[in-house]
Each structure stands twice: as C-alpha cells, then as structure tokens.
Structure 1
C-alpha cells in the first residue's frame, strides 16, 4: 500500500475526548489518543479500566456519551459508514465455518464486500503465511492458524486500522510468536495501524511500537517501546562497570550515583550516559562496560497503576 508523505504524518485514528457514562458512572473519561499508521499500538489496562468499552465505541457497537472517534478523518459519530470501511476487527476468537476450507471461508466473506478479487484473497493468504494450508478444512487448524485466517479475513478490504481485542487468548506460545511476527509485518508492509488490547505484558513488550495505558477510564500514559524494552523519553538505571567504584561514585555525586560491587549505578537518559562516561574517562577511571538495567513493562505498569491486576 503506497501513501503520500503528507498522509503518513496524519494519524489513522484520533480519539477526541471520548467519554462514556452509564447511569451515574463514568466508564470512559475524556480519552484522547492518536494512533499512527504503520505501527502496532498496545492498549493496556487493569480489569475494568475500559479497554473493551473503548473498542466497542470505536467500531460502533456502543454509543458515545461525548467526544468522537475519527478514522482516516471520518467521524464514527456522524459519518459511520465512511469511518468503518477503513476498519478490520477481531474481538476475541474469529468465528469460522469449520467444515469449509480456509479458502472457502475467505471466498464466502469476500462476497459480502464489493471489489474483492481472487488476487486479493491470494495476497492476504500469502501475507498471513497460510499458503500451504489454505485448502485444508478449518477444523484441522490450530488456534494460532485460525487467528491468522481471521486476520486475513479482517484485512481483505485493505483497512487502514486493524483492531484485535485479546488476540492471543488460548493461543500456545509458538502461535503467539507467529501472530506477533505477522502483526509487525502487516503494520510495516501494508502501512496499517494495528491496535491490540491484551493483558499479556511480556507479549506487548515484544509486539508493540508503543503502549497506551488506561486506568479507571482515563489515559494515564503513552510510552514508546524501542528494542523490545527501552522506553523513549524515560530515564533508565545504568550500571557503569569500572575499576575503581569508590572513586567513580565520588566523581558522580552530582548524578546521585550509588555504589555497587562492580561499579556505580545512576539513573540517566541517553545523553547523560555519554556525559558521565566522559567524566569517568577524563578522571582516569577505566570503564569496562555500561549496562542498562531496565524495568520490564510489567514492572512499570504495576508501578503506574498501583499494582492492580491486568485482565
């Protein structure tokens, strides 16, 4: 899928002050979030945070009390038909006709959408890696393969946004890894935005380009994930392995350095690491290694949400 440079800069989805009130209870409270194209965005939150409610409003299964969702510039509230045509979605397990082959299932769904060619069906089968098994009956598929067939069905009409609510439910570790690889490939090759709601934090860490964390119906943070664990814009715990730890800690007093057996521990961002290294080398302290002791996404999540369980 080819986009112009201008369209690449526009987020595919904009949640604008999205609010849902049921009775006296505010379920979603002024949620504002942009979802860029060609990225996998994780949607995280403790039990009852409002993830599924948000997704249901995004796809028109639940009305909004206030605010709006714009998909490729079209309002879900005022121009639902044009907004939803840009969306492919799977909520939990995709439903398939198990007595039909994978190909027959896709052919059946393609008849509901104008303009889907046999060539496009072959394209999506190739994209999700089911070429060798597409003519087998779905009842012979593993859960991971059914998920991939579901994704093939959801992207046949070339949506800009793919929404997956708990896509790894019941999938074995190998299937989860497959799914993760295909989602990343899809985002990059098809240029689409993928929104994944999940409670598997270790998976989100490997799958997503960024995560949006909600609690009590409010967005509490959006974090960019780099190289699986490093979170942009945040400081990390850095261990400088040196020959003279005591001297290093004195030299780095301004950085609140802590003495460790094999060096000095500081909290720093990327630029500060370079400055600290210069200070140590300039003072004749040998630096044998610089290690990032990152907290996992799970540790950070529990810290931010006060230890509430993720479901």
Structure 2
C-alpha cells in the first residue's frame, strides 16, 4: 500500500487480537473470522503486534504468519494497515522490521528496547538504524507510559530532523499543558493518543488513536469519531461516560494486576463483535470471560452510542 505520511496518518485504527487456544497456539480460523469482521467495520486502518496483540509473546514464525494474513485481508479490501515490529530486543526488532518491510504496509510501528533504558543519543541511533532497515516504509514510534525509556517532548524535533522516516508517535496523552507542549515539539509528526481520550485529544490537535475503544466496539468507535466532527460536545459527554465505565469496571481489573493485553481482550469480549475470547498467553493472567458476558447489558445501557444498531 501507499506509505503513510504525517499528513495522511490519522483517525481510528483497530488492533488485531490473537484468539489463543488452551494449548497456547493461535487459532487461525478464529483469527481469520476476526479479520473478516474488522475489515468490514469502516475503520481508518488496522494494525498488528501492538501491546494488545501480545507481540512480546510471539515466535518469529507466528509473527510472520500473522503479518501475511493481515496483509492479504487488508490488500484485498483496500484498507490501510500497519505492522508492529516492536520487541524488547533491538536485534529482534531490526529483524522484524526487515521482514515487515516486504509487505509494504503503510507504516511499521516500533518500540524502544526495554531491558535497559536508552540515552537520548541512543534513542536516535536506534530509530535511524531501524528506519534504514525498514526503508522505504515509514516508522511510528510507540512510547507508552510503562516503557523503560520515556521520550521527552524536546527530543521529538531531533528525531524528526535526524530520522525523517518517523512520521508518527503513539503516546498516552495528558492534560491541556501536556498537549500545548507536544504541539510545540511535534511539528511534522502525527500524534496518536489513547482511544478513550480521543474526543479531548482531537480538540487539542491529536491526529487519531490506535484505539482500545475499537477493541470494545469497532463500529461504535467509528460512530464516536464521526460524532467528534458533527457534535463535539456530545462526543465529550460520551468520553466522560467511557471514563466512568472504565473507572468502575476496568480500572479495578488493572489494579488487580491484569496486563493491558488482557484488558483489551476483555473489552473485545465485552463488545461481543468477534469470537476472540479473553485468554492471553502464559504467564499473564486472563480475565474471566463470564465477567464480560455479565457486563454486556451494562455497557450497552451506559454507552449506547458505541453500539449502533444494538
């Protein structure tokens, strides 16, 4: 597909979640069915191998098979897609980027190496070498709050100047002061924020989200995005209710030690739009699927805008 730029990278992107069997293998039939649903939902694009895609648990053969399946489905339907090449090891990340490049996705997402923190110079060196390996496919840097190396806003102009292949960043978002600082330092970069904060983010100039709300309800995430344009105040009210629902039903799970991948699979099972299940790979804990089933009528009553046609 055509390479994405800072100007064309935006909107609500859905993640590929891995249906995992009891023996830890990926259920290909259920994965194919999930992709068939996702490509029909009108999302701005799909991506594989983010945190929710459990990239940190994949063998390299599994990584390649998921890439091939994603590329085939998206190319067939003319849907933009990105491939994550992140890994705790810089060397494995480099290898993944080289193999992902062969599919010519719109962009390749990367994380910074995650055993020891990097200096600012090392961040730039790392991105420059990955960019050379991925060329001509551009890069998106994923720098979540739990990353060992937190990229300060003031480093982004250096990254953009020294590694022009970096066209976007995925970060958590923040308050009005945070957005003001990011606007000063991220010229030439598409800034993506958390899905549940997208209405606020767009008001402050965010380009889009790799969206946990799309994990909950792909069609609903797009309906909400349209609302942000047509009725921004109503969209902010939906965001307020999303936060209230998360505070009551999702944050306690996070406090109990469930990892983000488990929470995103819980959201997908709560939304009930595909047969993915809540199982995550060993050694992480999986949320009880029965809890999601019990909460389905609650989330639909609390957030009907996210379940159009329900």
TM range (shorter): 0.3 to 0.5
Higher-helix-fraction structure = 2
Q: For the pair shown, which has the larger CA radius of gyration, 1 or 2? A: 1
TM-score (normalizing by structure 2): 0.38
Higher-strand-fraction structure = 1
